[in-house]
Structure 1
Amino acid sequence: MTLTTEDRLAIHELIAQHGHLVDDGALDRLGEVFTGDVAYDLTPMGGAVLNGVEAMRTSALELGDRNPVAHHVTNTVVAEQDGEVTARSKFLGVRRDGSVGSGVYADLLRRTPDGWRIAHRRVSLRREPLKP
């Protein structure tokens, strides 16, 4: 598979859409970003692997006001190797008290009849600066 410019643009838009949907509370639209069988891996942060869009939605609702008030994604790099399409993005989550957390989304993407979707996302936080 060779990624076209249109593919790359669609993937960037897809990754950006996640933050808008979550921040708007449009959790019923997560299927526009993720495959129905997505594995949303929070284990690097001490959480679990959420299997499926419904598990993601339930988890966000359970977090309630502990959810960030804003999600920002930047520095997205899309790659294709051996038929797999991946993206790696930096994110910032702004909490209600103004504190900010930083991390990395590592995504495996799949082209579906409805367009590109994230099939697997691993979420890890950045807690320590570079130590040469």
Structure 2
Amino acid sequence: MSDMLQDRLDIEKALRHYAIGLDERRWEEWDLAFAPEAAIDFTPMGGKRETPDEMRARLSKPDPAWLFAQHPLYNTVIELDGDTATAFSHYQMETGRRGDAEGEIIRISGGGAYEDTLVRTAAGWRITERKVFMKWKETRRVKDEVTRG
């Protein structure tokens, strides 16, 4: 396999570590996505800029209403430049929280794009900056059709 193809595969792997770590609250995966000096910038969608550690601390707080999240990535385009790279990906998000009524879920669906800057480190490719853009969002109340233990 060519070095360029391996770099692209390793960059996509780093991008997916973010999604899996976030959605499953598997912070050991999350750590594989980021360089130590990284930032996640939600300001393009009205949020704030924070470090991965700050975001993890915020999302690690107990939240009995939280049920699930998924952030699949697609349409990823990667530009390599030696030991740095940029990536653009579309994402779709689905999150679910317990509603006020028995068996109700507040479901938030949305989609947007990530613009990432990455660097090659001794441990592999890592994100140094992620800008998050939202293109659409819908919130609705639905019946929970999954049996939960």
Q: Please indicate the TM-score interval, normalised by the length of the shorter structure.
A: 0.7 to 0.9
Q: SS state of the match for residue 47, structure 1?
A: coil
8 Å Cα contact 2:39/2:128 also seen in 1 = yes
Residues 38-74 of structure 1: per-residue CA shift (max 9 Å, x gap): 11101012111103x3112123235945686111111
TM-fit CA distance, 1:17? 2.2
Q: SS state of the match for residue 95, structure 1?
A: strand
* Structure in which a larger fraction of residues adopt helix: 1
**TM-score, structure 1 as length reference:** 0.81
- 1:116-131 matched pairs, under 5 angstroms: 116-127=125-136
Structure-1 residue corresponding to 2:12: 12
Could you list the runs of 5+ residues in structure 2 that have no partner in the other structure?
97-105, 138-149
8 Å Cα contact 1:60/1:67 also seen in 2 = no
- 1:16-95 matched pairs, under 5 angstroms: 16-51=16-51, 53-61=52-60, 64=63, 65=65, 69-81=69-81, 84-95=84-95
**RMSD of the alignment, in Å?**
2.4
Q: Which of 114, 122, 127 lines up with 2:123 in the alignment?
A: 114
Could you list the runs of 5+ residues in structure 1 that have no partner in the other structure?
none
Q: In 2, distance between residues paired with 1:17 and 1:25? A: 11
* Structure ID, larger Rg: 2
**TM-score, structure 2 as length reference:** 0.73
